[in-house]
Amino acid sequence: MNRKKRILTGDRPTGNLHIGHYVGSLKSRLEFQNEYDTFVLIADVQALTDNFNTPLKVRDNILELLKDYLAVGLDPKKVTFVLQSQIPQIAELTIFFSNLVSVARLMRNPTVKNELYDKKDLFKHSIPYGFLGYPVSQAADISIFNADLVPVGDDQAPHIEQTIEIVKKFNSVYGDTLKVPTLKLGTIPRLVGIDGKSKMSKSMNNTINFSDTTQDIKRKIMQMYTDPKRIHSTDPGEVKGNPVFIYHNAFNPNKSEIKDLENRYKKGQVGDIEVKEKLFNAIDAFISPIREKRLELNNKDNYLYDILKEGTLRARDEAQNTMSKVRESMKLLNFN
């Protein structure tokens, strides 16, 4: 019997989801959930690699993340939500995979390099082994569930590449056992932050979240970074690469309004305030229904835990199945 193709993707419970997650990964998940067997992993073990000293932050964000998922439209009848720390088989596979990757290869991973730079204060004395190795555990997350497709933002591309290398190596050493996954990038693989930094990121304080109030959104958009060379509204401005226009193109459904603003901006015939007010209207209209659904999920912790538990138990069965095959391929003894 042909099984449905499977998706595996996920997020770290380190804060609320933002509009960068939407264009990078959530939008693909929403489209694919009807057609693929979709697994969404809440990566609390991975979150601990750089939040090991704030475990309650990680724990408290688990349900917040699940609320974001349901509010944005992921359907628990179609999606298997999985809590990573409840699948110990992932840790086991990580150990086996760690023999198949070199330290030099891990050090060359460009996303890890950038993250190490951002975390230079946290890791000022030395780099923890767990942090350097988190792409190996991510390779285990993906292959333990036999994922065909991994929809993510482009910061994850090096990790998927590394996963493919590890899986191929595993299969060549121990025999064909694990599925080689494929990367699927989102419509905007890397959305800039409101501060103009190259990536909107939970840990950078430059996000617009689904949980933000109308007032939060207004304040954030009004302080957004635009064309730094433009001093007066009568100066011709740069549209390309301008965060305000990137967001307009991603979230404002009124394409003729965007065209008109772009034309006037290039000619110095519109002020930043008007461009930002129209952007605020578009983003607030996009977020408002999500925010409302999210609020309805407050005080429904039991319902949320049930969804997470049901998905995790299903995922644990899958993981156990894969690990039986892995152990057999690796000629490990079995005392059962």
Task: Report if residue 202 touches ligand ATP, rule: CB under 6 A.
Answer: yes
Task: Report if residue 181 touches ligand ATP, rule: CB under 6 A.
Answer: no
Stretch that binds ligand ATP, among 82-90, 185-193, 212-220, 240-248 (CB under 6 A): 185-193
Joined together, the tokens standing for residue 260 give: 């008109």
- Residue 85 in 3-state DSSP? helix
Angle of the 110-118 helix axis to the 157-174 helix axis, nearest 10: 130
Task: Report if residue 147 touches ligand ATP, rule: CB under 6 A.
Answer: no
Count of residues interacting with ligand ATP (CB under 6 A) = 21
Task: Report if residue 21 touches ligand ATP, rule: CB under 6 A.
Answer: yes
Q: Which is nearer to ligand ATP, 196 or 271 (CB)?
A: 196
In terms of Cβ atoms closer than 10 Å to its own Cβ (0-12, 13-18, 19+), residue 199 is middle
Task: Report if residue 98 touches ligand ATP, rule: CB under 6 A.
Answer: no
Joined together, the tokens standing for residue 309 give: 């538990």
Instruction: Say if CB 96 and CB 326 are below 8 A apart.
Output: yes
d(CA 261, CA 66): 37
The CA angle 266-269-272, to the nearest 5 degrees, is 80
Query: Using CB atoms, what's the residue nearest to ligand ATP?
Result: 24
Q: How many residues does the chain have?
A: 336
Rounded to the nearest whole angstrom, what is the least distance from the CB of residue 108 to ligand ATP in the complex?
A: 19
Q: Which of 6, 7, 8, 25 binds ligand ATP (CB under 6 A)?
A: 25
Task: Report if residue 90 touches ligand ATP, rule: CB under 6 A.
Answer: no
Specify the DSSP class assigned to residue 211: T
Q: Which is nearer to ligand ATP, 33 or 326 (CB)?
A: 33
Task: Report if residue 11 touches ligand ATP, rule: CB under 6 A.
Answer: yes
Instruction: Say if CB 207 and CB 277 are below 8 A apart.
Output: no
Task: Report if residue 12 touches ligand ATP, rule: CB under 6 A.
Answer: yes
Q: Which of 138, 156, 206, 252 binds ligand ATP (CB under 6 A)?
A: 156
Task: Report if residue 203 touches ligand ATP, rule: CB under 6 A.
Answer: yes
Q: Which is nearer to ligand ATP, 42 or 270 (CB)?
A: 42
Specify the DSSP class assigned to residue 159: H
Q: Which of 48, 66, 106, 152 binds ligand ATP (CB under 6 A)?
A: 152
DSSP string, 266-305: HHT-S-HHHHHHHHHHHHHHHHHHHHHHHHHTTT-HHHHH
Instruction: Say if CB 82 and CB 42 are below 8 A apart.
Output: yes
Task: Report if residue 24 touches ligand ATP, rule: CB under 6 A.
Answer: yes
Q: Which residues bind ligand ATP (CB under 6 A)?
A: 11-12, 14, 20-21, 23-25, 152-153, 155-156, 186, 189-191, 199-203
